[in-house]
Structure 1
Amino acid sequence: MAMNPVALPLLLEAVLLCAPEPVSLQQLGAVFEGEVAPAALEAALHGLQQSWSERGLELVQVGPGWCFRSRAEVRPYLERLHPEKPPKYSRAVLETLAIVAYRQPVTRGEMEDLRGVSIHSGILKQLEARGWIEVVGQRQTPGRPALYATTPQFLRDLALPSLAELPLVPAAAEPMRGSKETPAPRLPGFAPPPGRPAAQPTPPL
């Protein structure tokens, strides 16, 4: 039985407003148990996005999922409800995060080569605890070092649809980014690492 096209936007709105995390097209398809084609779902999402274009919330695509979030211009007022100091990160933490974001998958040794200094294990643990990086495999070299990459949480926290939307980087790192120029992520001090060709990944075990 086909879904009533009038009811679809209302149901999508309810699902997305109540979901604790961004919801992908695949998850939405499961919600409607195949009653709505993926193309129809995507069209309905864009229509819903347009209908919320002049409200305090906006519908955005973050990574593979869709979610509602407050608009940037209203966030200063919302922050007054629960005034908290944002966490501060050291330069070493931010540089390490930038290297992982632009060179992933990358080993700890490769990060140290790029930074020119050793990286304390606590830095990687801090980024893992924050949910921004994770181990995704092992480099097929002696010692089989762990390969690190960013997570979907990293994209959500920076409100980026994909890694292709990271800020522009020097020409040496151009294959790591998309073709669009976007504002810098909302992380103080976050910047691309100095350029060298990205490490070529090898398949994990």
Structure 2
Amino acid sequence: MPLFSIFKQELFEYVINKACRSRNKEHLLFFSFMIKDLKNIVESLLFVAGEPLSIDRFKSIIPKTGARDIKEALSVLGEEYDARKGGFFLRAVAGGYQVRTRPEYTEWVKRLAQNHSSSISRAALETLAIIAYKQPIIRSEIEHIRGVDCGGLLRILIEKKLARVLGRKEIPGRPLIYGTTKEFLEVFDLATLKDLPVPEEIQEKRAPDSDKVPDKNS
């Protein structure tokens, strides 16, 4: 991190602490001036983060800042991005916020990332769909629905961080229980599992290349 950025961060923390301990009008006015940088700080964090940032995560990074201030900063950023109509937008996803490229530019983003294919088989996607809609679920239940062995597919989904082990079911043999991950929500552009499409929506959106995992930057 550049020396100036470190100094600015330390100064920001000092002013906040000073304003909170003192009723001196000058300190409070200076604090008000510094807090205007909150939007830019939030934006900087969004751009360098490799995953969605929750409000609590923002609060842990930016000292003495309330959830309301952070939400207001995010709201202003979202409005600015929408008004600009540029190549990216702010999205609430996987319990946090993330800057994403607009869907209309997905083809160009794919060209940049063409050497890092994230395709998985249709069988793996079917298994993932069963986990997503039926979780928590054990392997025998998945195999009963699909009618074939799913051991290898479950390993692939776990390796790709789309599925995870939630624990063991308290029945004879204590089989592993499976569920989806935060990465699953991020990749499929879902804020929560409640946003999973219903069967009718799936049929409408079905495409020839539906055996590919979406680019989470889109």
TM-score, normalised via structure 1 length: 0.77
Normalized per residue, the structure richer in helix is: 2
Choose from 22, 36, 50 the match for 2:65.
36
Q: Which amino acid aligns with 2:175?
A: P
Distance 2:132 2:75 in 1: 28
What SS class does the counterpart of residue 89 from structure 2 fall into? Answer: strand
Partner of 2:79: 50
The equivalences for 1:10-159 within 5 A come to 10-33=40-63, 35-53=64-82, 54-84=85-115, 86-115=117-146, 117-159=147-189
Q: Percent identity?
A: 31
Q: Pairwise CA RMSD of aligned residues?
A: 2.4
- On the 8 A contact 2:142/2:150 being kept in 1, the answer is no
Distance 2:171 2:140 in 1: 12
Give the length in aligned residue pairs. Answer: 178
| Structure 2: gaps spanning 5 or more residues | 1-15, 17-30, 213-218
Larger Rg: 2
- On the 8 A contact 2:169/2:176 being kept in 1, the answer is yes
1:132-167 per-position Cα deviation (integer Å, ceiling 9, x unaligned):
001011111111111000000111111111111111
What SS class does the counterpart of residue 52 from structure 1 fall into? Answer: helix
1:185 shift after superposition: 8.8
What SS class does the counterpart of residue 112 from structure 2 fall into? Answer: coil
Distance 1:141 1:86 in 2: 39
- On the 8 A contact 1:166/1:184 being kept in 2, the answer is no
Q: Which amino acid aligns with 1:44?
A: A
